[in-house]
Amino acid sequence: MTTMYTPDHEWINIEDHEAATVGITHHAQDALGDVVFVDLPEVGRTFKKGDIAGVVESVKAAADLFMPVTGEIVEVNEALRADPSLANTDPLGNGWFFKVHIAEAGMAEFDQLMDGPAYDKLLKTA
Amino acid sequence: MSDAPLQHTPLNELHLELGAKMVPFAGYAMPVSYPAGILAEHRHCRDSAALFDVSHMGQVRLVGDDAALALESLVPVDVVDLAPGRQRYGFFTNAAGGILDDLMITRRENDLLVIVNAGCKDADMRHLQTNIGHRCSVVPMPERALLALQGPKAAAAIARLAPDLAKLTFMTGAFARIAGTDCFATRSGYTGEDGYEISVPAEQAVALARALLALPEVKPAGLGARDTLRLEAGLCLYGHDIDDTKTPVEAGLTWAIQKVRRAGGARHGGYPGAAVIDKQLGAGVTCKRVGLVGLERMPVREGAIIVDAQGHKLGRVTSGTLAPTVDKPIAMAYLAANHALPNHEVYAEVRGKRQPMRVSPMPFAPHRYFRG
pLDDT in tens, B130-146: 999 999 999 999 999 99
Is residue A54 a contact partner of residue A42, using CB atoms and an 8 Å limit? Answer: no
Strand partners, B51: B149, B220
Residues in chain B closer than 8 A to A36 (CB atoms): 39, 299, 322
Q: Is residue B17's pLDDT more than 70?
A: yes
Q: Which of A33, A39, A62 has its CB closest to that of B37?
A: A33
- In tens, the pLDDT along B29-81 reads 999 999 999 999 999 999 999 999 999 999 999 999 999 999 999 999 999 99
Confidence band of B92 (pLDDT split at 50, 70, 90): very high
Strand B49-53, strand B218-220: pairing: parallel
Which pLDDT score, from 0 to 100, does residue A1 have? 65
Mean pLDDT, residues B282-307 taken together: 97
**How confident is the model over A69-110, as pLDDT tens digits?**
999 999 999 999 999 999 999 999 999 999 999 999 899 999
**Partner-chain contact A59 B324, CB within 8 Å:** yes
Name the burial class of residue B141, with classes exposed (0-12), middle (13-18) and buried (19+) by CB atoms within 10 angstroms of its CB: middle
**Main-chain dihedrals φ then ψ at residue A104, nearest 5 degrees:** -55, -45
Q: Tens digit of pLDDT for each residue in B240-265?
A: 999 999 999 999 999 999 999 999 99
Structural domains of chain A ordered from first start:
3-112 (2.40.50.100)
Average pLDDT, chain B: 97
- B164: β partners: none
pLDDT above 90 for B2:
no
pTM of the predicted model as reported, rounded to 2 decimal places: 0.95
**% of chain B with per-residue pLDDT over 90:** 98
Query: For residue B353, what are the CA distances in angstroms to A75, B186, B306, B350?
Result: 22, 45, 11, 5
Minimum distance, in Å, between the CA of residue B348 and any CA atom of chain A: 15
Q: B322 vs A36: CB contact, 8 Å cut-off? A: yes
Which of B227, B26, B226, B52 is CA-nearest to residue B145?
B52
Q: What is the pLDDT of residues B196-207, one digit of tens each?
A: 999 999 999 999
Query: For the segment A3-14, what is each residue's pLDDT rounded down to a tens digit?
Result: 999 999 999 999
pLDDT of residue B198: 98
Picking from A34, A64, A89 by the largest number of B CB atoms within 10 A of its own CB, the best residue to mutate is: A34
- Taking CB atoms and an 8 Å cutoff, what residues of chain A touch B348? none
Q: What's CA A66's distance to the chain center, in Å?
A: 7
Contact list in B for residue A59 (CB cut-off 8 A) is 38-39, 42, 224, 228, 321-322, 324
Q: Does the structure's ipTM exceed the value 0.90?
A: no
Facing residue for A39 by CB, picked from B21, B33, B298? B298
Instruction: Give the one of A33, A37, A57 whose C-beta lies nearest to B38's C-beta.
Output: A33
What is the model's pLDDT at position B76?
98
Q: Are B358 and B345 in contact (CB under 8 A)?
A: yes
Contacts of B41 in chain A (CB under 8 A): none
Residues B138 and B131: their CA atoms lie apart, in Å, by: 10
Contact check, Cβ <8 Å, B224/A39: no
